[in-house]
Structure 1
Amino acid sequence: MNKTIQLQDLGNKDYKETWEYQEELFKAIVDLKIRNRREELNLETPNYFLFVEHPHVYTLGKSGDLTNLLLSEKQLEDKGATFYKINRGGDITYHGPGQIVGYPIIDLENFFTDIHKYLRFLEESIILTLQEYGLECGRSEGETGVWLGVGTPFARKICAMGVRASRWVTMHGFALNVNADLGYFDNIIPCGIRGKAVTTLNVELGVERVDEEEVKAKILKHFANIFEATFEKSN
């Protein structure tokens, strides 16, 4: 079992280009697994973790409701945003500058074969990261992601999650609001959940800006510990 994960930071990159790149890595792993089974081989499958920041974009999961996007095509254009219907779970979400997006493309058979456990571990890596900043956060029953103020009238989401898995290979992942412009969330019903707010790390800490590289380092530390994995930088 290969528990080494190749880390790539793509910087600011178009959503569609990144999605296509994810699909390429995902397909290569799946194809290798199929070959292993057909030819009775035992070739090691690789794992990847992509960090990226996207220009303004809204994405709708395969079970999502298009009415949760509150903008017309013209309004999207005016806001400099794009829209894609994609093949992950979950409803609608927003990606943009000031948000740390993480896409683990890993073969879960290198770790464990439980998609629910995988989602909980993803959440835990974010929860532990935010706790380092002194925030009380956790899960909201029946709602994937990481929340603050759970069980109060002031519940607010700080990290959205949506994944796809096939043959135990994952893609898509999480989006953590660090210094994001919350105004862009006003144009959707985030994750299809009405009446709950969205927040960012800098707002919660009452600071103008949080060091995103520092946040990434903390996420990787906790992800590696939880998954008992090792990160290796690659181009």
Structure 2
Amino acid sequence: MRASIPRLLGATRAARVSLGAPAPTPASGAACSGAPVGAGNAHLPPVRYHIFAEPLPYPVGLKLQQRVIDERLAARKTDPKAGKQDVLFLLEHTPTYTTGRRDNTPNPDELHPEEKKVQNVGAEFFITKRGGQVTYHGPGQLVGYPLLDLNAMETPTRCYVEYLQALLGEYATSLGLDVHAPHPDGHVGVFSSTTEKVASIGIHLRHRITSHGFSMNVTTEPKAWFDLVTACGLDDVHAVGLTELLARAGRPADLSVRSVAEALVPRFADTYQREFVPLSLDGDDEVRGIQRIVAETEAEAKEINAKAGGWLSKPDVSRQAAA
């Protein structure tokens, strides 16, 4: 099964994450301002956020984003003042590998080289239109999809990515972890060392509205899946989760994907100078429309997962060997 998923990988450079504004980025020109991003965002409605309880199959998560953005753009055609509601979706996916356009697969009708490695192990594989190379999404990993209008926020794309990267790094730092955000060699994401990656970023823009976003490994569950592929095209870099890093540091913590999601919401509010409120609260017609889409998405995910009989917690390498 294949799908087409637009996403663009940003790129930034900095020596090490700080607790203030992101560090300058010589590779991409002048640094983003150290002042709060979107200081004039008080006129914008609060960002609605929703944390999904049921892991979403990857195509369901893709359709969720597309439907919300489609309805938003359609509303603007009728009324230019409409379609202003920004959203943050926080969730897990069922086991899935994706790859992007940077892989330059010679023949799209043939199996991708990385797909051959993971045939029959218990995860789906999707060829996408996003930037970047092979990565994995699944239970134990928090995925965040901010759908934000960068024009309304008066935020350059590069600054949006830099601040997203910084807030993820700052969260890891708040746990007592020493991280690089980005990698010393300039690779985008959050790294616990030059050879271990804890969070990735990949975005797409449509009419200056962001989609896709970030993933952060929370538990050790994603690691075995990542180990089957060359993630992000980095041969010497491997996945690691927050719980493993904390255990190594002698500070074991009972982190869950949901607890990390809840901890990141106020960091989004502080970073982008926006108020964030639960999607479940009463709102206008646009909010009610998003609530409807989310309810339908949750029902669809529950039905698909039930029909599939759930998912594996680790790859079935015996089936891989037999394939």
TM-score (norm 2): 0.64
The amino acid that maps onto 1:156 is E
- Per the alignment, residue 81 of structure 2 pairs with 42
State the alpha-carbon separation in 2 of the partners of residues 18 and 212 from structure 1: 17
Q: Cα 1:69–1:106, aligned 2, differ >3 Å: closer, same or farther?
A: farther
Report the secondary structure of 2:225's partner residue.
helix
Report the secondary structure of 2:52's partner residue.
strand
- 1:100 paired with 2:168, answer no
Q: In the alignment, which of 61, 67, 85 is matched to residue 18 of structure 1?
A: 61
- 1:191 paired with 2:254, answer no
The amino acid that maps onto 2:62 is W
- Per the alignment, residue 30 of structure 1 pairs with 73
Asked if structure 2 preserves the Cα contact closer than 8 Å seen for 1:22 and 1:171, the reply is yes
The amino acid that maps onto 2:225 is Y
- 1:164 paired with 2:207, answer no
Q: Cα 1:116–1:59, aligned 2, differ >3 Å: closer, same or farther?
A: same
Report the secondary structure of 1:224's partner residue.
helix
- 1:173 paired with 2:213, answer yes
Per-residue deviation at 1:71? Answer: 4.0
Gapped runs of 5+ residues in structure 2?
1-42, 106-110, 280-290, 292-323
State the alpha-carbon separation in 2 of the partners of residues 104 and 69 from structure 1: 31
What pairs up with 1:57-76 in 2 under 5 angstroms? 57-66=96-105, 70-72=114-116, 75-76=118-119
State the alpha-carbon separation in 2 of the partners of residues 178 and 118 from structure 1: 23
Aligned residues: 225
Deviations 1:110-169 (A, max 9, x none): 21231111111111111111111101112124311111224xxxx311001111012211
Per-residue deviation at 1:223? Answer: 1.0
The amino acid that maps onto 1:171 is S
State the alpha-carbon separation in 2 of the partners of residues 125 and 177 from structure 1: 15
- Per the alignment, residue 127 of structure 2 pairs with 85
Query: Could you tell me the percent identity over the aligned residues?
Result: 23
State the alpha-carbon separation in 2 of the partners of residues 184 and 208 from structure 1: 23
Q: In the alignment, which of 90, 94, 105 is matched to residue 51 of structure 1?
A: 90
- Per the alignment, residue 147 of structure 1 pairs with 191
- 1:120 paired with 2:159, answer no
Per-residue deviation at 1:44? Answer: 5.0
Report the secondary structure of 1:170's partner residue.
strand
Asked if structure 2 preserves the Cα contact closer than 8 Å seen for 1:49 and 1:105, the reply is yes
Asked if structure 2 preserves the Cα contact closer than 8 Å seen for 1:102 and 1:175, the reply is yes
TM-score (norm 1): 0.87
Determine which structure has the larger strand proportion and give its number. 1
The amino acid that maps onto 2:243 is N
Q: In the alignment, which of 257, 263, 276 is matched to residue 218 of structure 1?
A: 263
Asked if structure 2 preserves the Cα contact closer than 8 Å seen for 1:62 and 1:86, the reply is yes
State the alpha-carbon separation in 2 of the partners of residues 145 and 199 from structure 1: 13
Q: Cα 1:230–1:167, aligned 2, differ >3 Å: closer, same or farther?
A: same
Question: Which stretches of structure 1, 4 residues or more, deviate above 6 A after TM superposition?
Answer: none
The amino acid that maps onto 1:47 is D
Report the secondary structure of 2:103's partner residue.
coil
Per-residue deviation at 1:195? Answer: 1.2
The amino acid that maps onto 2:216 is L
Asked if structure 2 preserves the Cα contact closer than 8 Å seen for 1:178 and 1:210, the reply is yes
Q: Cα 1:114–1:232, aligned 2, differ >3 Å: closer, same or farther?
A: same
State the alpha-carbon separation in 2 of the partners of residues 65 and 93 from structure 1: 15
Gapped runs of 5+ residues in structure 1?
none
Per-residue deviation at 1:225? Answer: 0.2
**Higher alpha-carbon Rg:** 2
State the alpha-carbon separation in 2 of the partners of residues 208 and 3 from structure 1: 35
- Per the alignment, residue 9 of structure 1 pairs with 51
Tell me whether 98-107 or 55-64 shows the greater mean CA deviation. Answer: 55-64
Q: Cα 1:21–1:210, aligned 2, differ >3 Å: closer, same or farther?
A: same
